[in-house]
Amino acid sequence: MRITAHETSLTQRHLWRSAREAIPVTRTVVLQAEQDGVSGYGEASCFMTDHYNSGLEQLHTDLRRTAPLLAALDLGGPDGGADTVWHRLAAELPASPFVLAALDSALHDLRSRLLGVPLWKSLGLDRPHGLRSSYSIGLDTAEVMVGKLRERPGWCAYKVKLADPGDLGILRRLRRETDAPFLIDGNCGWAPDRLVPALPHLHDLGVRLIEQPYPRAAWEAARALKEISPIPVIADESITSPADLDACAQAFHGINVKPMKAGGLTPALAMLRAARARGLVTMLGCMPESAAGVTATAHLGGLVDHLDVDVVDLLAVDTGHGLGLDATGRVHLPDRPGSGYLPDPAAHGWYVHQVPADRVRPVRRQAAPATHHPQDAHPGTRHFAALHHGRAVGAASLCAGDPPAGHALPDPRPGRARRLYGMATLDEVRGTGVGGALLRTALTAAALDGAGTLWGHVPEAALGFYRKHGFDVLGAPGQSGDDPHHLVHRSTR
């Protein structure tokens, strides 16, 4: 099995605001798990990075840490069952739920595609029927929020972000536009003295669900609200794993399960089944992500009372083709094995993507016209392009190979190294992080291919860049034409 990490840059159609933050662009890592020519996909988002330990560098670091486990993984073997694999991965990733979720989803997707069945079937679920998603309206001025609703009339429900539940003017303006129920979301930002007096008015305005009004730590206030609220109140930030279910059952009427936050489809499915057994209201939601992640989530939609998978409609760009949403929010799952997601190499959501050699050569020619790269013909060579609006603006390539004789690496075992070459960025994007993204992706690719060391020859002017990214210089400088060059290396761990 081969795992490849691709980076994305997902622009929203509108600036997305909640009581907690504003998000113009989301970065994610899409994982591709490939076996026998078949690929499955998962996704990890760089969202609330301090809370979820989900910064880009950390996502890659945690992913590289799983390389030995993944190298030995056999989906068809006795230890290849979904629960067993998830528990082994969870032990390696106790503080990285998003990477765990991306791997779990990718492996579930791959397993179902190898079986030739839809994901819902391989999970032991019934075929989802009649799925409809709510439409989310981010926090903004009343005029902008009304404008967003007018862009998407006729949906079954509208999920509205509010900074203050006592400010009813926005809901009154929105109510003039639709008869559909409102689901309102406080994102942990409300106070009891503002919410409790507003409850009758919210009910009269057609609010039929309240999501996470108080901070996660406010369990006593949540329990008190559950006792008096005429509107069901569900947990979001308060439910992060099956371990939270008992406390949430006491303090809320239901839960919003997000597979990425839960650590994957495996625990999400367990949480939904347990919640239904307790008679709790269930919602299935998503983080800021592309079709690569949310399409798999929708396969659990038959288990919930409320579905919130409109994230693909909120995006101005995407990474491929997956679940569809019609003009009223009806969900259409692809009629293909697995999740049904298909990546589109031309989609503008990709930021660093594995590509054929002919996609990186134009960048190399502009950056270093006289350089020839015979390594392109080596079996197993991999090429990564940094993309801006679908156009290649950076390049990096990776091939198997030990350094030249006389340059002993800290790990001297033959075949345990990968060579980085053809690294180039166009002048227009230098200083924007493109080079770092390419290096990060190549390092993760090397680790997941089983390499212990990444090395390359770099010009003297680039030494600062490589040292900044953890590379050490090995030996005295050599000569390439008129330019001195250095052999640099770093561990892939």
CB 156 within 8 A of CB 332: no
For the chain, list the domains and their CATH numbers: 135-342 (3.20.20.120), 349-493 (3.40.630.30)
C-beta neighbour count of 477 within 10 angstroms:
15
The residue assigned the tokens 């940094």 is 386
- CA dist 430 and 436 (Å) reads 10
pLDDT in tens, the chain (493 residues): 899 999 999 999 887 777 677 778 999 999 999 999 999 999 999 998 888 999 999 999 999 999 999 988 877 766 667 788 999 999 999 999 999 999 999 999 999 999 999 999 999 999 999 999 999 999 999 999 999 999 999 999 999 999 999 889 999 999 999 999 999 999 999 999 999 999 999 999 999 999 999 999 999 999 999 999 999 999 999 999 999 999 999 999 999 999 999 999 999 999 999 999 999 999 999 999 999 999 999 999 999 999 999 999 999 999 999 999 999 999 999 999 999 999 999 999 999 999 999 999 999 998 877 678 899 988 899 999 999 999 999 999 999 998 887 666 766 666 789 999 999 999 999 989 999 999 999 999 999 999 999 999 999 889 999 999 999 998 766 655 556 789 999 999 8
CB 305 within 8 A of CB 282: yes
- CA dist 477 and 4 (Å) reads 33
CA atoms within 13 A on the CB side of 235: 33
